[in-house]
Structure 1
Amino acid sequence: MELHLKIIGVLLLILALVHGVFPKYFNWQQELNKLSLINKQMMYVHTLFIALTVFLMGLLCIFSSDELSKTHLGKHICLGFGIFWAIRLLIQFFGYSSILWKGKTFETTVHIIFVCMWAYLSFIFLSIYLA
């Protein structure tokens, strides 16, 4: 399981860094102009903190994989991470409209990649807890 945690750690570091391109890719400068200042700033701040949380989770998986998989506290942390990513998996299906990806090659590919990634993260973290 330690190898899987290290793989997850790398995936999470990449995911955290990808958040940096969100403003440009999603054209936030123009799109968010329609929002009030507080809502616009919340988008940027919350995205930053989500990226930071995912980044730190990735570092924890890389540098503390032994402790996560073999200690009582580590297994409980994995339970929390497993629940977090399982909920994220559900959000992939029920939080986003399929209109956003159906019939669009790139978007469908990204959707499938994220479904597989969230399922993998959920499975590994929950498996560690249950082992």
Structure 2
Amino acid sequence: MEIHFYIIGSLFIVLAFSHLIFPRYFNWKQELASLSLVNRQIMVVHSFFIALMVLLIGLLCVTSAHELITTPLGKRISLGLGIFWGARLVIQFVGYSSKLWKGRLFETGVHMVFAVFWAYSSVVFIKTWLS
């Protein structure tokens, strides 16, 4: 089971650092220009903290896989992470309009890769809690 934590952790670390390209890739300078200053800053600040949490979850998985799997506290943390990423999986399909990805090869691929990743993560975390 530890290998799954190393895989998930490594992928979360990569995902966290991929947030660095979001402003440019999604053209935030132009796209967010019409927002009020507070809304623009909320978007940027929240994105930073999401990336930071994803990084910390990744580091936790990579550095503490054994403890997450074998200790009562680790199992409770795993349950929380399983619920969180399971909810993220649901949001992948109900929180984003299919207009953003349906019929678009690259966007559909990204959408499905993340759906599989959220499912994989939530199953590993919940299975850890159950064991």
Give the TM-score taking structure 1 as reference length: 0.99
1:1-131 paired onto structure 2 within 5 Å: 1-131=1-131
Distance 2:68 2:8 in 1: 12
Aligned CA-pair RMSD: 0.4
Instruction: Measure the CA separation in 2 of the matches of 1:24 and 1:101.
Output: 20
**1:22-80 Cα shifts (integer Å, max 9, x gaps):** 10011000000000000000111000000000000000000000000000000000000
**Paired letter, 2:36:** S
Q: Give the count of matched residue pairs.
A: 131
* Runs of 5+ unmatched residues, structure 1: none
Shift of 1:82: 0.2
Give unpaired runs (5+ residues) of structure 2: none
What TM-score results when the alignment is normalised by the length of structure 2? Answer: 0.99
Moved over 3 A (4+): none
SS in structure 1 of the partner of residue 32 of structure 2:
helix
Cα distance in 2 for residues equivalent to 1:25 and 1:34: 18
Q: Percent identity?
A: 58
Aligned counterparts of 1:120 and 1:19: Cα–Cα separation in 2: 21
3-state SS of 1:73 partner: helix
Q: Counterparts of 2:66 and 2:116 in 1: how far apart (Å)? A: 24
